[in-house]
A and B are shown apart, each in its own frame.
Chain A
Amino acid sequence: MLDLLSGFVVQLRNAGLPVSLTENLDAMQAVKHIPIEDREAFKYALAATLVKNEQHWKAFETVFEVYFSLRGPEYNVFDEDGEIDEDSLEEWMSQQMRGMGGQGSAEDMSPEEIAEMLFRALMNADEAMMAAMARAAVTQFAGMEPGRPVGGTYYLYRTLRNLDLDGMLDRLMEEAQERSQDDMTPLQERLEREEYENRIEDLKREIEAEIRRRLVADRGVEAMAKTLRKPLPEDVDFMHASREEMVNIRKAIQPLTRKLAARLARKRKHKRRGPLDFRATVRQSLSYGGVPAEPRFRNPRPNKPELVVIADISGSVAAFARFTLHLVYALQNQFSKVRSFVFIDGIDEVTHLFQNEEDITNAVHRVNTEADVVWVDGHSDYGHAFGVFWEKYGSEINSKSTVMFLGDARNNYHSTNAWVVKETAKKARSVFWLNPEPKSYWDTGDSVITEYATHADGVFECRNLRQLEGFVDHLA
C-alpha cells in the first residue's frame, strides 16, 4: 500500500501538482480510515489530502484513473475496473442480445445493433447498459492494435465518428416528441435536449475511460501517465490556449486583478502620516491640561492609483490579445480609474467600450469591431502608435499613473519611437511591460523589446497565469 501511494504521489508531482511531504503523510493516514473497496471514497480521501486547488482537480483525476485503473489484481485493491468483471458482463450482454432477437457476444455485433442498443440505453438513462455499450463500441470501432504509437484521441475520434452521436441526438428528440402526449413547448424541448446532450456527454466520457483503460493495459501506467499529461491551468500558454482553457484562465484573472489593486493600494497606506491636524491636536491637549504634548496628524489623502493600459491587438498576438482584453475588463472593475488603449498601427481609446458594457463578450466584440486601430495596412507599428498616443494623450499622464504596455514589441522593422516610453516613464509613477513571448525569442527578428525595456521599470515575460501572478507579486 505504501509503495502504491508513494508511486501515485510521484506521478502527481510529475504532472506538476505541488504535493508536500506532510500532505503525503496525511494521505497515508487518511486511507487507513477508508474501506479499501470503496473506490470513490478512496479517490476523495486522496483528493482531500493531496489536491489543494480546485483547478488541479482534473489533472488529479486523470492521474488517478490511469494509475489505479489496472492496479487491481496485483495489489488486490480493485477488481478490473472497480465495478463489474468482464465475464459476467459478457454473459449479461449476450442475454440482452438474445432478448432483442440478435445473437452472439459483443464482439460480433453489427454496427446497427450497437447503435440500436445505445439508443435504448440513452433513452432510458440506463447506466450499466451505457457502460457496456461503450465497451462494445470501442471494441468494434476503435480498431486498437497493441503497441501502435498513436494517442488516445485518435481512437476516440474513430469510435465517435462511427457512432454518429449528433444523429443519435436527433433521434432521441424525435422519440421524446412522440412520447409526450401533447406538443412540447420550446422550453420543454430545450430542457429535453439538454438532458439527452448530458447523457451523451456521459457516454463520451465512458468511451474515453474505456480507451484509456485499454491503453494502460497495453503500454503500462508510467507511459500513459506521461502521454496524458497536460499543463496545469496556471501553466497554459495564453498564445495556445484552447477554448476550454481560456474559460479557466478568465476565471482566474478576477482574483488576480483584485490582488493587483490591493498591492497598489497598500503602498499608499504604508506611507508616512499626513499633515498636522490642528483641531485634533488641541482636542487631545485637553487631557494634558492644555499642553499640546501629543500632536495629531491627518491621515494622508489616499490618492487612488490610476492605471493606463496600452495593448497590442494585432494578429501576431491575437490569442494573447483576447486574454489582454479580459484582463483589462477585469482591471476596470477593480480600479477607480483605468484608461485603456488598443493599437495595431493606429491607436484608439477603448475605455468607454468597457465601461458601458456589462457583458464582457460584448465588450470584446465591440473593441474588435469598433476600435479604430488600423492606420495604413493593419500590421503592427509600435512607433507610429506610440507617437500618436503621446501627441493625443501624453499630457494626461501624471505622477499617479501606472502605465502597462502589453505586447510582443514586434515592430515590422518600423521606427521604434522609444522616446515615448522614456518620456512616459519620466512622468508616470511606474511603467511596466508585459511580453507574451518566451524570453528566448526577445530581440530576435523584428522584436525590439530591449529598446523599450531600458526605459520601463520592469519588463516581464507573461505567457501564463503563473507568470502573471509573479508580476503581481513583484509589485509588492
Chain B
Amino acid sequence: MGDTMFGDLASTRDGLRDVGYLADDGIASVVYLAEKLGKPVLVEGPAGTGKTELAKSVAAMTDARLIRLQCYEGLDEAKALYEWNYKKQLLRIQADRGSDANNEEWVDIQDDIFNDEFLLTRPLLEAITAEEKVVLLIDEVDRVEVETEALLLEILSEYQVSIPELGTIVASQIPLVFLTSNNTRELSEALKRRCLFLHIDYPQLEREKEIVLAKVEGISNNLAEQIARIVRSIRQIELKKSPSVSETLDWARTLVLLGVESIDVELAKESLNILLKYQSDIDKTTKELTVEA
C-alpha cells in the first residue's frame, strides 16, 4: 500500500490531492523524501497554513493511525514517553503482603511490577510500539522548553526509547514523524539536524484559489478568484496578524452561505472581521481598501 503511495514524486502529490490536501512542489518533495529516507519532518510556518493538516492528510493517505502529541510548556517524560502505573504497582505489592514474604519472593515481585503490564504508554512510546502503520504528529514543538526537546532526540534519530527498568524498545516499523512549529523560538541545532526542514508559507494566488475551490462546497470559480486576490491584497498590508488559509476558507464559506456572487468594497469591509482578528488590523485594512489605489 505504502509503496504505491510513495512510488514517486508525482504519485505522492496525487495521493495528497486525493485526500484533499493540495501540496506544492516543495511540500510534495519533502514528504516523499521523508518516507524514502525514514527521517522526521520539521514543518515550520505562520499559523493556519496547514501544517497540522499536512500530517493528518499523510495519515489519511497512507491509511495510518495518527498519534498526536500536543506540546505545551511543562510537558515532561511522564506525559510524552511513558509512566509507571504506580497505583497498580502498589496494589500488586499489597496483594502479596498476606502471604509469608521472604527475600526470594520480593525479587519476583520486583521483576513483576516492572513489566509491560504496569507501563502506561504515552504518545511517543505508543508510536514506537504500534504494530500497524502510524503517523506521529508532534504539534507545536516550539512550546516546550529547550531542555524538554532532548526527550525527543532519541526517538527521532534511532526510533527507540530507553526505559531503565526494561531496556531499550526499538520500533518494529519506522513511523512517519511530523513536528510542527510556529517559530516562536529557535529550536535547538540538535533537533534541527535530525529532521528534514519544510517551511510552509502563505500559498501563492493560484494555489490558494485551488484550495478554496477544493475545500468550499458550491463556490464559483469567479468568487474563489476574487477571494484569493483580495486576501493577497490584504496580506501585503503590514498587519499584526495576516489572514491565514483557514481564515480565508472561513470567509469563503460565509460568502457562499450569504449567497454572494461577487464582492464589492462594502461587503468586503463588513465581513472583514472573519478574516482579521484584531480591531486595529480591521481599521487599518478598511482604511486601505477605501483609499483608491
Q: Which B residues are CB-close (under 8 A) to A57? A: 199
Q: Which candidate, B104-112, B162-170, B180-188, is the interface stretch facing chain A?
A: B180-188
Q: Which B residues are CB-close (under 8 A) to A189? A: 292-293
A20-B289 Cα distance, complex, nearest whole Å: 47
Q: How would residues 214 to 234 of chain B score, 1 for a CB under 8 Å from any chain A CB and 0 otherwise?
A: 000000000000100110110
A367-B199 Cα distance, complex, nearest whole Å: 36
A358 near B278: Cβ-Cβ < 8 Å? yes
**Residue of chain A at shortest CB distance from B36:** A33
Q: Which candidate, A48-56, A152-160, A271-279, is the interface stretch facing chain B?
A: A48-56
A189-B240 Cα distance, complex, nearest whole Å: 26
- B280 interfacial contact with A, CB 8 Å: yes
A190 near B185: Cβ-Cβ < 8 Å? no
A54 near B233: Cβ-Cβ < 8 Å? no
**Residue of chain B at shortest CB distance from A361:** B238
A190 near B25: Cβ-Cβ < 8 Å? no
B255-293 interface with A by 8 A CB criterion = 263-265, 268, 278-280, 284, 289-290, 292-293
Q: How would residues 193 to 232 of chain A score, 1 for a CB under 8 Å from any chain B CB and 0 otherwise?
A: 1110010000000000000000000000000000000000
Q: Which candidate, A38-46, A139-147, A297-305, is the interface stretch facing chain B?
A: A38-46
Count B interface residues, CB 8 Å.
48
B198 near A48: Cβ-Cβ < 8 Å? yes
Q: Which B residues are CB-close (under 8 A) to A358? A: 240, 278-280
A41-B26 Cα distance, complex, nearest whole Å: 7
Q: Which A residues are CB-close (under 8 A) to B293? A: 186, 189-190, 193-194
A191 near B9: Cβ-Cβ < 8 Å? no
Q: Which candidate, B27-35, B53-61, B113-121, B133-141, is the interface stretch facing chain A?
A: B27-35
- B44 interfacial contact with A, CB 8 Å: yes
Q: How would residues 71 to 90 of chain B score, 1 for a CB under 8 Å from any chain A CB and 0 otherwise?
A: 00000000000000000000
Q: How far is the CB of B158 from chain A (nearest CB, A)?
A: 14
Q: How would residues 11 to 24 of chain B score, 1 for a CB under 8 Å from any chain A CB and 0 otherwise?
A: 00000000000000
Given A48-B198, A186-B293, A41 contacting B29 (CB threshold 8 A): yes
A255 near B33: Cβ-Cβ < 8 Å? no
Given A38-B9, A44-B26, A186 contacting B33 (CB threshold 8 A): no
A410-469 interface with B by 8 A CB criterion = 469
- A391 interfacial contact with B, CB 8 Å: no
Q: Which B residues are CB-close (under 8 A) to A18? A: 189
Q: Out of A30, A52, A187, A359, which one reaches B33, CB within 8 Å? A: A30
A1-48 interface with B by 8 A CB criterion = 18, 20, 22-23, 26, 29-30, 33-35, 38, 40-41, 44-45, 47-48
Q: Which A residues are CB-close (under 8 A) to B232? A: 194
**Residue of chain A at shortest CB distance from B142:** A255
Q: How far is the CB of B51 from chain A (nearest CB, A)?
A: 13
Given A187-B268, A358-B280, A40 contacting B25 (CB threshold 8 A): yes
Q: Out of B192, B238, B279, which one reaches A52, CB within 8 Å? A: B192
Given A41-B9, A194-B229, A194-B233, A187 contacting B196 (CB threshold 8 A): no
Q: Out of A38, A186, A194, A469, which one reaches B265, CB within 8 Å? A: A186
Q: How far is the CB of A360 from chain B (nearest CB, A)?
A: 9
A44 near B37: Cβ-Cβ < 8 Å? no
- B103 interfacial contact with A, CB 8 Å: no
A23 near B233: Cβ-Cβ < 8 Å? no
Q: How far is the CB of A232 from chain B (nearest CB, A)?
A: 14
- A120 interfacial contact with B, CB 8 Å: no
A358-B29 Cα distance, complex, nearest whole Å: 40
- A258 interfacial contact with B, CB 8 Å: yes
11 A-B pairs with C-beta separation under 8 A: A44-B26, A45-B29, A47-B197, A52-B195, A54-B199, A186-B290, A194-B232, A194-B293, A198-B205, A258-B184, A358-B280
Interface residues of B (CB under 8 A from A): 8-9, 25-26, 29-30, 32-33, 36-37, 39, 41-42, 44-45, 183-186, 189, 192-193, 195-199, 205, 226, 229-230, 232-233, 236, 238, 240, 263-265, 268, 278-280, 284, 289-290, 292-293
Give 10 closest A-B pairs by Cβ, nearest first.
A358-B280, A190-B293, A44-B29, A52-B192, A33-B36, A48-B196, A54-B199, A186-B292, A187-B265, A191-B229
Interface residues of A (CB under 8 A from B): 18, 20, 22-23, 26, 29-30, 33-35, 38, 40-41, 44-45, 47-49, 51-54, 57, 185-187, 189-191, 193-195, 198, 254-255, 258-259, 358-359, 361, 469
